[in-house]
Amino acid sequence: QKKRPWRNKLRKEKAKEAAKKEKEEMGEMDVIGEGDDGDKKKKKKKKKKRANAVLDEIIRDGKAAREKEEGEEEMEGVEEGAVGDTKLEDAKEKIRSGIFRYINEQLYTVKSADAVELFKNEPDSFWAYHEGFAQQTKKWPNHPLRLIIQWLLGKDSGKVVFDLGCGEAKIAEAVGNRHDVRSFDLVAVNERVTACDMAHLPEKDGVADIVVFCLSLMGTNLLDFIKEARRVLKTGGILKIAEVTSRFVNPKVFVEAVCKLGFAVHERKAVTDYFIIMQFTKIEKVENKRPYGLVLKPCLYKKR
């Protein structure tokens, strides 16, 4: 040993390196506590908690993405690639998509008041949902939101536009300097969004020129949403609905039902095979307060 004093130093360095590598590979293990190296029992326990840690990280990922967007500093250790374990990444992706599909299904099958409760109790789950939705839309060749934004750009400026179920409030982002866009969603993912249930908007009667529901008619209390849209609209104001084609039992019957609530249909057109955009104008006369046919099927995503 004395003859080769560098040897020990080298060994120490190697050991240090190996430990560092292991730590990196186990990235999210940090979440569930450190300082028990070599203790096999505890390591086993750690493994058990791994699924929880992964979930925590997914939620942190969502938050980190939001904070990044807001120009804040990125959270430590949650950047892509920090984990460096493809199996773990795959597992995370599966859990992520599972959470998305679960919450998505909830939103389509409960009344909006229950959706409000869901996010009140589990505020972080909204990020998982939100991220999942963004992932889905990335695959779409034609997001109806783009067409709605184009349409709004063609309008005279200064319109009061309500974006109900706005998600990231992309409409306000795109045309907010041209129109007075007010964006509402169950949870506010950025400063453009006002958090509320769109069945009860914090707005006065007859203030809006345009109300948009872009893929947001999710709760089973559809009637409440349409009525609320009509309440905030001026007479002669425009209601735009973009929805997934497969959600309609019969688009014609749906249009008739909306009309009975005090609207005139202006246009109904298929964007692609996937989406339909409808445009209505608010009229004075309400023919039926609970019309037949005002239903939409839930839009459930397939397991990937």
Assess contact for 160 and 180: CB atoms under 8 A: yes
Q: Does 165 bind ligand SAH (CB under 6 A)?
A: yes
CA atoms of 102 and 111, how far apart (whole Å): 16
Helices of type H across 141-232: 144-153, 170-175, 222-232
- Closer to ligand SAH at the Cβ: 36 or 70? 70
Classified as helix, coil or strand, 208 is strand
Query: Which of residues 27, 62, 132, 167 is near ligand SAH by CB under 6 A?
Result: 167
CA atoms of 86 and 226, how far apart (whole Å): 46
Taking CA atoms, 112 is separated from 119, 121, 186, 224, 237, in Å, by 11, 14, 9, 9, 25
Give the pair of three-digit tokens for residue 303.
């397991």
- Closer to ligand SAH at the Cβ: 27 or 167? 167
Query: Which of residues 184, 254, 263, 275 is near ligand SAH by CB under 6 A?
Result: 184
CA atoms of 44 and 275, how far apart (whole Å): 49
Interface region with ligand SAH, contact rule CB under 6 A, candidates 9-17, 92-100, 159-167, 172-180: 159-167
Assess contact for 182 and 231: CB atoms under 8 A: no
**Span 239-278, contacts to ligand SAH by CB under 6 A:** none
Give residue 91's identity as a one-letter amino acid code: A
Q: Does 112 bind ligand SAH (CB under 6 A)?
A: yes
Q: Does 201 bind ligand SAH (CB under 6 A)?
A: no
**Span 113-152, contacts to ligand SAH by CB under 6 A:** 115, 133, 145
Interface region with ligand SAH, contact rule CB under 6 A, candidates 181-189, 203-211, 231-239, 286-294: 181-189
Interface region with ligand SAH, contact rule CB under 6 A, candidates 165-173, 260-268, 284-292, 296-304: 165-173
Residues engaged in binding ligand SAH (CB under 6 A): 107, 112, 115, 133, 145, 165-167, 170, 184-186, 197-199, 214-216, 218-219
